[in-house]
Structure 1
Amino acid sequence: MNIQGKVALITGASRGIGRAIALELAKQGMQRLILIARDRQKLTEVSQEIAALGVETTIMVLDLTDTVNVNIAIAQLWRNYGPIHLLVNCAGVAHQNSFLQSKIPQLQEELSVNLLGMYTLTNLIARRMASQKQGIIVNVSSLMGKVAAPTMATYSATKFAIVGFTQALRQELAEHNIRVIALLPSLTDTDMTKNLKLFHGVIAMNPEQVAQALVRGIQNNVPEILVGWQSHLAVWCQRLAPWLMEMILHIARPKKSIPHTASV
């Protein structure tokens, strides 16, 4: 599917990777971008940047864990702006902590936003895409969806789950001409990662690189997009020498596990 002249919905669009994806899609000639996040001011700022590129925008302040409001919002969006051709599930939250110091409310928030929120929205959009017999769904996972990271146990678990969810949907929705893609960036320099205690030796990429990789992946019809050489190296190391990957993670892990929270 040629994305030019089409409508895309991006969650977590107020900053970081979501914002970069929205701007990159605007440069690629999308007709309209629907931007969803919880921060109205930042959404408005992104919308103005996109409008300056000549692309129509719609912003919606929405908590993806509020199932009732999400249902209402998607029905309104579809009615007012027609079919959504591309869905990018980028919203997420991360808590960094020693597992022994972790709190149940943090677990619940990560599961609710990263998985249940994504599931609800994807279900609503996919049903409508199936009726129109076309669409692309991009689920933003992480390198941590392939290689789990200590101090990020629940976050890693949700990102692994997103990869499995994506693989299953890819098979199920293919008959409806819907492509389902997993985007797996490594550490990216965003507001979210600024609040995390980083692993030693890991070099952060910028959000624009991730957004450009996504566009290339869509154009090249790939099912999974690993972003950055560090991601490819880590995944191959995990496959061929998992013992070595374990050693590297042990050496690179933050020496002091200080609780941190971040979200997009």
Structure 2
Amino acid sequence: MNVQGKTVLITGASRGIGRAIALELAQQGAKKLLLVARDRQRLDEVGREIEAFGTQVVTLALDLSQIVEVNIAIAQAWRNHGPIHLLVNCAGVAHQAPFLKTQLPDVQQEIAINLMGMYTMTRLVARRMAAQREGTIVNVSSLMGKIAAPTMATYSATKFAIVGFTQALRGELAEHNIKVMALLPSLTDTDMVRELHWFRWVVPMTPQKVAKGLVAGLNRESPEILVGWQSHLAVWCDRIAPWLLEKILLMAAPLSKYKQKQYRRLRQAALTSR
């Protein structure tokens, strides 16, 4: 897909990967960008940056967990600014904790925004794309949508669900001339990720690299867009030796000091017994 002259709706556009995608698509010649996020001030700041490229900008301050408000806003946006040619579902949150210490409100928020927010937006836009028999939908998952990791159980669950949802829609919406793709970046240096305990040995990539990866994937019409050599290596390892990858993830996970000492003792005992 060539985005030049197209109208694009991006959720989670006020920061991180969503912001980088919005700026990249503006540079690639998108005609109009509809930016969705909760923080109106940040949205307006991104909008001013994008207007410098000559791209029209519409900002929609929405909480994707508020389904009625989202329905009304998207219906109005399509009527006033549509048709929308490309939807990028990028909004998401992440909470990190050992499973036995997870807090239910955090779990509910991840499911509400990462999964139900994406579902709501996709349903609203896909119905209209089907009527016009044209469109592309990109659901932003994660490498954790292919490979789950300790301390990120619910986040991984939502990202796995996004991959499955995308695969199902790809076949279902093809008859309406709608392409459905998944974007799977590895660890990306964003505001959200900086609040987490990073996994050892993982080198974060920039949001700009993810955005360029998306554009390249759109041009190739790739059903799944893996970004970064770490993603390709991890997926390859999961296919060839999943047991090895599981051990590596356990070693890399940001465990408690007690767990780290326990793991070192077990590892030393295993080495001694050889």
| Cα distance in structure 2, aligned partners of 1:82 and 1:58 | 11
1:120 corresponds in structure 2 to 120
The 1-side partners of 2:67 and 2:246 are apart by 39
Following superposition, the deviation at residue 104 of structure 1 comes to 1.2
Partner of 2:89: 89
Equivalent residue letter for 1:232: H
Cα distance in 1 for residues equivalent to 2:119 and 2:66: 12
- Does the Cα contact within 8 Å between 2:110 and 2:154 map onto a contact in 1? yes
1:168-226 Cα offsets, whole Å, 9 max, x none, are: 00000001110000000000011011000000000000000000000000001110000
Cα distance per residue 1:40-65 (max 9 Å; x no partner): 11111100000011100000100111
Question: Residue deviations 1:210-248, cap 9 Å, x none?
Answer: 000000000011100000000000001011101100110
1:55 lines up with 2:42 in the alignment: no
Partner in structure 2 of residue 101 of structure 1? 101
**Matching residue of 1:148:** 148
Instruction: Report what 2:23 is aligned to.
Output: 23
SS of the residue corresponding to residue 163 of structure 1 reads helix
Q: What SS does the corresponding residue of 2:210 show, helix, strand or coil?
A: helix
Q: After superposing the two structures, state which structure 1 stretch, 174-183 or 1-10, moved more.
A: 1-10
What SS is found at the alignment partner of 1:204? coil
Structure 1: which 4+ aligned runs deviate by more than 3 Å?
none
Q: What TM-score, normalized to structure 1?
A: 0.96
Q: Could you tell me which amino acid in structure 1 is paired with residue 59 of structure 2?
A: I
- 1:262 aligns with none
- Write the distance in 2 (CA, Å) between the matches of 1:136 and 1:119: 15
Q: What is the DSSP-based 3-state SS (H/G/I as helix, E as strand, rest coil) of the residue aligned with 1:184?
A: strand
Give the SS at the match of 1:33. Answer: strand
Q: 2: distance between equivalents of 1:56 and 1:219? A: 22
**1:18-49 CA deviation, whole Å, 9 max, x = no partner?**
00000000011011000000111111110000
SS of match in other structure, 2:58: strand
Q: Which has the larger radius of gyration?
A: 2
d(CA) in 1 for partners of 2:37, 2:158: 19
Q: Quick one: distance in 1 between partners of 2:49 and 2:33?
A: 12
Question: What is the CA–CA distance in structure 1 between the aligned matches of 2:175 and 2:14, rounded to whole Å?
Answer: 33
Percent identity (aligned): 68
Per the TM alignment, residue 255 of structure 1 is displaced from its structure 2 partner at its CA by 2.5
Query: Does residue 64 of structure 2 align to residue 68 of structure 1?
Result: no
Q: Within 5 A, what are the aligned runs for 1:37-52? A: 37-52=37-52
SS in 2 for 1:148: coil
Structure 1 match to 2:200: 200
> Are 2:228 and 1:220 equivalent residues in the alignment?
no
The Cα shift of 1:88 comes to 0.3
Whole-angstrom distance in 1 between the partners of 2:91 and 2:71? 17
User: Runs of 5+ in structure 2 lacking a partner?
Assistant: 258-274
* Alignment: residue pair count: 257
The higher-RCO structure (CA 8 Å, 6+ apart) is 1
2:271 aligned residue: none
1:106 offset after TM fit, Å? 1.1
Per the TM alignment, residue 2 of structure 1 is displaced from its structure 2 partner at its CA by: 2.9
1:138 counterpart SS class = strand
Whether the 8 Å CA contact 2:17–2:208 is kept in 1: the answer is yes
Q: What do the CA deviations read for 1:143-188 (whole angstroms, capped 9, x no partner)?
A: 0000001000000000000000000000000011100000000000
Which amino acid letter does the alignment assign opposite residue 35 of structure 1? L
Q: Which amino acid in the other structure matches residue 144 of structure 2? A: M
